[in-house]
Structure formats: structure tokens, C-alpha cells
Structure 1
Amino acid sequence: MTYRILAINPGSTSTKFAVYDGENQILSKTLNHSVEELSKFNCIMDQFEMRKNEIENILKENNIELKTINAVVGRCGGLPPVKSGAYFINDEMIDRLTNRPTLDHASNLGAMISYSIAKEIGVDSYIYDPVSVDESGDIAKVSGLKGLDRVCLTHTLNTRAMAIKYAKQHNKNYKDLNLIVAHLGGGISLNVHEKGKMVDFVSDEEGPFSPERAGRLPSKMLVDLCYSGKYTYKEMLKNIRGKGGIVSYLNTVDAREVEEKISNGDEYAKLIYDALALQVAKAIGELATVVNGDVDAIIITGGIAYSKYMTESIRKRVKFIAPVEILAGENELEALAFGALRVLEGEEEATVYSESDLAKA
């Protein structure tokens, strides 16, 4: 039997969704939402009906009947720490996302829209690998200042999907491998997978800078800047997430523009870009120590992984650790759909979401 899956990935100003028959994508759409359109809503949750209706209208326009869909899977962010894989969406999860989200982001609508559509047609709905996945042990949480534990927030959906994809392409079992995965996009994060479990991480606020995020900063200098009187609290947050990283040096968030500057002889652009590559390589080396250097492969993914300049700069520094595989792109819809497919085909089991079970974990 071939399963038909609807995957939904809402972003701040867009809603991406796709329909898959098995592993074959038969429809993919991106709905862009203007500032004017979104300004009509008081909060993100109020956008639910608008986004859901637009998805259903486009499915109808493309002659895809809801009753032909076997499962709906959505992206999700604002949950407490959970394990990797699939979770059934239920009333308890919707209550958390509606009333007590840990992250107020449009991605939470992915679960809400998926649940609503699935209930209408009588099928199961899932989330898969939300950003709150945390499988690291207590030793990984220690930061260096009591009461300020490290928080595992990484690009779990794409990195874990690429780890599973790598294993499949090489006829190996994901649960038999030790892999380091670096996601290079608007934000950059890395994690290490030990025998199928994501045991440690470098988040986008404690590792390499990225096109618009500052990454790890000198702590004393940062504290001094916070109390300098030059910036408000919100402005400082924007300095490290939105105005930090490449854009603070080169006034662009587009890596392609940086490479064009380099090709035109801009030595300063080359310095900043090379520094980014070095920082990613250092983070990979850092994570290699978690598994005592026993690394089967290093995977580089995300949008910037399309850059041969960047990936080769990283590869030459880390190839002594393990072979480097490039799996470029941000493949969230595919990752969602393939995750749900593995559940439907019996390769994985979905977990029933329960706040009480999370508290016991």
C-alpha cells in the first residue's frame, strides 16, 4: 500500500506544505503572507483559520481530496523537552501549544492545523522531531554557571533526517552509527548522534556565528555591552539574533553575495567567511570528543551547504576525524513526510504526548 501524507511547515511569514505518495512528492506549495495580511491578527494563534483555509483551498484547486490522505504531519516548536521521532497530536499537546508554549512561534500552528484537518477526515496526525528534542544526558547540560544549564535547541528535524538519509544511502542502520551533523542556514547548529540518539549539541547561540546570529561571544565583553547604556534589552537581543553574524560585518545575510564579494577581491569578506568555516570546523571537533573520536561520518547540510567554497573549507579541516558527506538543503517537508511514512509502515512507533510522562523523564 502507498500512503498519502500531507506535511505542513508554517513559518513567520509563509506556510509551506506538500503532499507525498510514499516518498514521491506530488504537490509542493509555499504561501507567502504579507505584513499587511498578518497585521490583522492579534497573535500567531489567531492565524490558524486563515492558514488552514488557504491550504485546503489549494489542495482542492489541485484535485487532491482530503479523504485520500492517510496522515497529516506538522512542524512544531513550543513544547517542553521531548525525545526524537514522532508524537501523536492530541488535545493535551494542543492545550500546551495554545496556552503555555515554550516557544511562541508560527511553527506551533503546524501541529494545530494538522490536528484539525486529520480530525475532519478521521486519520492520525503527528509532529516529528520538533526543535525541543533533547536526548542529552546530565553531563551535557552543565554550562559552567550553576542555574544556567545548557538548553538543547538545534535544527533537529533536518539534521536527524539527514543522518537517517546518510545511513540509508550507505546501506547502514542509523542506530549503528556515530554521526556529527552540521546545519548551515540562517542559523547554524550542530549535534552528535551516538547509535541513534542525539547525545550532545552546539546550539546557534553557543557555537559558530551565522548570516544573522552572533553565536558564541566573549562573555565579559558581552556583559559590559549590555550595561553600557547604548542598547535596550530588546536591541541587545536583536544584536545577537537578527543583526549579529555575517550581516553585522558585511551588511548582507546572503552567503551568495558574500562569495561574490570574495570573487571580486574583497579580502575583508574572505576573512569573515573563512572565520565562519573555521568556527564550524572547531565545533565539529568539539563534538567529536563526545564520542571519543569514534565518528563514522560528518554530515554538512542546510542552505549554505550548497556552497562548495564553504563546504570544502570545512572539509579540509575536519576530514582527519571522519569522512565528510554533503547533503545540502533545508529539507523540512521531506523530513516530516518521511518520518510519518516510517510510522505508517511500521518502521517506527509514534509516542502519545503526555505532560505527566515528560515530567517523569
Structure 2
Amino acid sequence: MAYNILVINPGSTSTKVGVYEDEQKIFEETLRHSTEEIAKYDNIIDQKDFRKKVIIDMLKNKNYDVNAFDIIVGRGGLLKPIPGGTYAVSDELIEDLKIGKQGQHASNLGGILAKEIGDEVDAAAYIVDPVVVDELEPVARYSGMPELPRRSIFHALNQKAVAKRYAKEIGKNYNEISLIVIHLGGGVSVAAHKNGKVVDVNNILDGEGAFSPERAGTVPVGDLIKLCFSGKYSEKEIYKKICGNGGFNGYIGSNNFLDLMKMKEEGNEEAANVIDAFIYQIAKDAGAMATVLNGKVDQIICTGGISYSEFVINALKEKIGFIADFTVYPGEDELLALAQGGLRVTTGEERVMEY
């Protein structure tokens, strides 16, 4: 039996929608929302009816019967820390999405929309591997300051999807291999996957690990404290320096890796140094994750948009290829990953998780 799946991935100015028959894509659509449309709503939760109407109208325009769906999968939002997996959308999960348990983000609407549409068409509603997936080992939580334990916030959906894809391709179970997975996108997450769990990873949201196109990563803490109390910046402005205006944006004023490479090729020394430092820091993080896995790494996997760059991949291989061989899955296919998560619990390949 083939299952009809609707996937909903809300972003700040768009809602990506996918329709799948099992893992076969029927179509994908990016529904873009203007700044004026979004500005009408005081809170993210207030956008729910607007986004739902846009989705339903799009399906009707494509002559697709909404009642044909067996499974509705929404992007997970900023919930409480939870283990990885596919979760049935429950009342408690909905409530935490509404209040923004760890913050307000458009992705919080994913599970809410999935549940509401699912209830109307008698389809099961799920979320899959939200960014708050937390499987850190106890030793990894110590930061050195009791008030500030390390947190796990990263590209869980794509990291888990490519790890499971690799395991399937080599004929093994994800639960029996050890991997270092490097997501190279607007943020960079470097994670140690051991026996089906991400036992350590840098917190990409609040400043940890390598810098990236938009994020500062780990910075000198003492100097940051001085900057905070210098009187020159508000709390919001400091946070924007860490997440948004850090990394490539801070050094060259662009978050586009292609811009950086072009500048390097034109002889810009600062651009060349930034690229070298970017690769250097990622390699350091990967080396650290190798120690987490006691040096027993089955494969290093690179994914995310910057993984299309042969220059970056070759440079990383030169630095950390001694740890393990590389597999590269460039880009990210979040809609497919969401569909696959819903399908796995429906077919019994995985058990559904309870929030």
C-alpha cells in the first residue's frame, strides 16, 4: 500500500509544501509571503490561519484532494529538549509550540498546522527531528559554569536523515555505526553520531563551534563580556553579532560563500584568510568529535549547501581524512526527510515517539 503524505515546513517568509507518495515526490511548492503580509500579525502563532489557507488554496489550485492524505508531517519547532525521532502531535506538544518553549520561530507552526489539517481529513499528524533534539551524553553537558550547561540545538533533521541514508546504503543499521556529520550551511553543526544518537554537537543557535556564513561560533568570552558592558551595544545588537551578523557577514559583509570564493579568486587576501579559518575551525571541531568517539569513526559525512564546493571538501579531506573516509551529500532535502520520518513510523520501521 502506498501512503499519501503532505509535508509542511514553515519559514520566516515562506512555507514549503511537499506532496509525496511514500518517498516519491509528486510535487513541491514554496509559498512565499511578503513582508507586508507577515507584518499584519503580532505573533507567529497568529499566522496559523493565514498559512493554512495558503496551503489549502495551493492544493485546490493543483486539483489535489486534501482528503486523500494519510499522513501530515510538519517541521518541528523550538520545543523542550527531546530525543530524535518521529513524534505524534499531541495536545502537550501543541501547547509547547504555541508558547514557544525555547523561543518563537516560524517552524513552531509546522506541528500545529499538521495537527489541524490532519484532524480535518482524518490523517495522522507528526513532527520529525526538530532542532531541539537532545541526545547528549551527561559528560557533554558540562560547560565549566554550573549555571550554563551545554545545550543541543542543531540541524537535527538533515543530520539524522543523511546518517540514516548512509547506513542504508552500506547495508547497516544507523544504531550500529559511528559517524562524524558536518552540516555546512548558514550555520555549521559538527556532530558525533554513536549507535543512533547524537552524543555531542555544537550549539549552532547561541554561539559554539566554527563560525559560519551568518554566525560567530565560539568567541573569546572575556572580550565578549567587555563588549556587552561597553555601552556601545544593546542586548539585541550583541546577539545579532553572534547570530546573524557574525562569521562571513562580520568579515566581508556577505553570507554568500560564492561571493567569498570570488573575492579570493580576485586576490582579496582577507577573503582567502576567512576561508582558510573557516575550514580550519570545522576541521578542529571534527577532530574533537573523533575523540568523543574514541577515534572509532566509520565515516565522515558532509552535507548542506557549502558541501557543493569541491574546494572546501578537498581541504577538509586534507586536514581530517586521516580520521575516516568521506561521503558527501550536498544540499539538504528537508521535505523528503520529513516525509521519510512519517513513513517510517507508519510502516513500523520505527516506533512513534511520545512527547
Pairwise TM-score range, normalised by the shorter structure:
over 0.9
Return 5+ residue gaps in structure 2 as ranges: none
CA distance in 2, matches of 1:173, 1:106: 33
Contact 1:190 1:203 in 2 (8 A): no
**Residue in 1 aligned with 2:103?**
103
SS in 1 for 2:58: helix
**Residue in 1 aligned with 2:43?**
43
Q: Is 1:173 the counterpart of 2:173 in the alignment?
A: yes
How many angstroms does 1:303 deviate by?
A: 1.0
Contact 2:15 2:31 in 1 (8 A): yes
How many angstroms does 1:25 deviate by?
A: 0.5
**Residue in 1 aligned with 2:330?**
328
Structure 1 vs Structure 2: percent identity of aligned residues? Answer: 45
Return 5+ residue gaps in structure 1 as ranges: 354-361
Q: Where do 1:196-275 residues align within 5 Å?
A: 196-204=196-204, 205-275=207-277
Which of structure 1's runs of 4+ aligned residues deviate more than 6 A? none
CA distance in 2, matches of 1:150, 1:233: 21
CA distance in 2, matches of 1:316, 1:67: 52
**Residue in 1 aligned with 2:5?**
5
How many angstroms does 1:100 deviate by?
A: 4.9
**Residue in 2 aligned with 1:296?**
298
CA distance in 1, matches of 2:298, 2:273: 31
Any idea what the Cα deviations from partners look like across 1:251-275, whole Å, max 9, x if unmatched? 1110011111122222221110111
CA distance in 1, matches of 2:150, 2:27: 39
Cα RMSD (Å):
1.0
Contact 2:75 2:338 in 1 (8 A): yes
CA distance in 2, matches of 1:157, 1:190: 14
CA distance in 1, matches of 2:309, 2:50: 36
Any idea what the Cα deviations from partners look like across 1:83-127, whole Å, max 9, x if unmatched? 111110011211121135222100010000000110001111000
CA distance in 1, matches of 2:311, 2:155: 22
How many angstroms does 1:17 deviate by?
A: 1.1
Q: TM-score, normalised by structure 1?
A: 0.96
**Residue in 2 aligned with 1:357?**
none
Q: Where do 1:130-149 residues align within 5 Å?
A: 130-149=130-149
How many angstroms does 1:2 deviate by?
A: 1.0
CA distance in 1, matches of 2:122, 2:53: 18
How many angstroms does 1:330 deviate by?
A: 2.1
From 304, 307, 320, the counterpart of 1:305 = 307
CA distance in 1, matches of 2:208, 2:101: 23
**Aligned in 2, Cα 1:100/1:202: closer, same or farther, shift over 3 Å?**
closer
CA distance in 2, matches of 1:233, 1:197: 35
Aligned length: 353
SS in 2 for 1:72: strand
**Residue in 2 aligned with 1:65?**
65
